[in-house]
Amino acid sequence: MSGSTEPSGMMKAVRAVGVLTLLVVQGGGAVTYGLLAYYHRQVSSQMALPSAIGTITLFGDGGFTVLTPVEAVDVRVDERTIVTTHAGVGSLADLRPGATVIVSGHSEGRHLVWATSIAIGAP
């Protein structure tokens, strides 16, 4: 053995393979994370997550206002909006001032929701 502290050619090759393996594993993890994040965005955009939970306060043309614990949210409805009650399927006629609702749909900013579904709480 020589007294040199320089790593041998074999040791350099082992280190290079180790570094390459780490890069592949970490890069694969980053790709997997990116794919999962993309999938989550796709699934969550198709799910009807609550956009507003509160009490109906005002009715207007094409919608109503829900007072949440934090702010007032304008809710727009159309003929495709699905309404459910504690008894089952409901209709827009079941909406009353003072009713507690859970509104799901597409938000435009913090104060406007285009409702895809509305769940009316028990009276």
Percent pLDDT > 70 in the chain is 71
Summarised one tens digit per residue, pLDDT across range 29-72 is 566 666 555 555 544 444 456 788 999 999 988 899 999 988 99
Q: CA distances (Å), 26 to each of 5, 31, 32, 34, 84, in order?
A: 31, 9, 10, 12, 47
Question: What residue ranges do the domains of the chain occupy?
Answer: 1-47, 50-120
Q: Which residue has the tokens 């020589």?
A: 2
pTM (predicted TM-score): 0.60
CATH of domain 50-120: 2.40.50.140
